[in-house]
Structure formats: C-alpha cells, structure tokens
Amino acid sequence: MENLYINHLAVFVCAILNLALGALWYSPVLFYKGWLAETKLTEEQLAKQNPTKTYGLAFLFSLIISYNLAFFLGDSATDAVWGATAGFLAGFGWSTLIFAIIALFEQKSWKYIFINGGFITVYFTLIGFILGAWR
C-alpha cells in the first residue's frame, strides 16, 4: 500500500466517460432501438423520468466505480496495458457475468444481456486503460 497512487482527475474523467459512452451506446446510432424494445419501455416513460436524479445518481455511482478500480490499479507498476486488462477482467469477468446471471433469472433476452453487458465490458476496459495510462 505504500506505492498506492490515485489520479483523482483521471477518476473524475472516468466517471464522466460513463455518461458520454452511455449517450453513444444507447443512442439511435448504436443500440437505442434494440435496448428500448428489450426493456419494453416507451419513449413516453423515458420522458417522465427525472433527469437530474437519474444522471446525478449515475454520475455518483460511476465515480464510486472509478475510484474502486483506481484503488485496485493504484500500484506504481500499473500501465495502460495492465489497466485495460484489469478493466476488462473486472468488467466482463465480474460485472457483466453477474448482470447476466440476474438477467437470466429475470427471463431477459440474450439481446438485452449482450447490449447491456457489452456496455459494461467496454466501459470497464476503457476506464482501466485511462487509469493505467494517466498516472
């Protein structure tokens, strides 16, 4: 623990990246229509949500996720390659797979699992890369 280093600005950027990547991932350019169909939500239901609450909590949770990974990658030997590898392993190996298990019991489709699990895996890989590179 003596060599633990956390770049707080990088952590903050990683939290913002969650919102930015989500805006792209769940946009009409990529998976919006498929995600909307699989969640069985309507655009009217989405319009009724409180954006301040939703985005505020999403940012807060993303900040916690980013700090959590930063602590795991805080060793002085961490670099971009190890960061991306660890991010992928945490994203796919832990987060996506537990998400998939829950989704299976909720009887969600494979399409739903792949859309959301893909986002989780890509996000964790990217923040691992950033935290590893931006030391």
Residue-wise pLDDT tens digits, 15-68: 999 999 999 999 999 999 999 999 999 999 999 999 999 999 999 999 999 999
Residue 127 counted as domain residue: yes
Query: Domain residues for 119?
Result: 31-133
DSSP 2: T
Residue 4 counted as domain residue: no
How many domains, in total, are found in the chain?
A: 1
Residue 70 counted as domain residue: yes
Residue 9 counted as domain residue: no
- pTM (2 d.p.): 0.94
Instruction: Report the 10 Å Cβ neighbour count for 26.
Output: 17
H helices within the chain, ranges in order? 8-25, 32-39, 43-47, 51-72, 80-88, 97-105, 110-133
Residue 45 counted as domain residue: yes
Residue 17 counted as domain residue: no
Residue 72 reports pLDDT greater than 90:
yes
Residue 20 counted as domain residue: no
- The predicted-structure confidence for 103-132, as pLDDT tens digits, reads as follows 999 999 999 999 999 999 999 999 999 999
Q: What mean pLDDT, rounded, does the chain reach?
A: 96
pLDDT at 1: 55
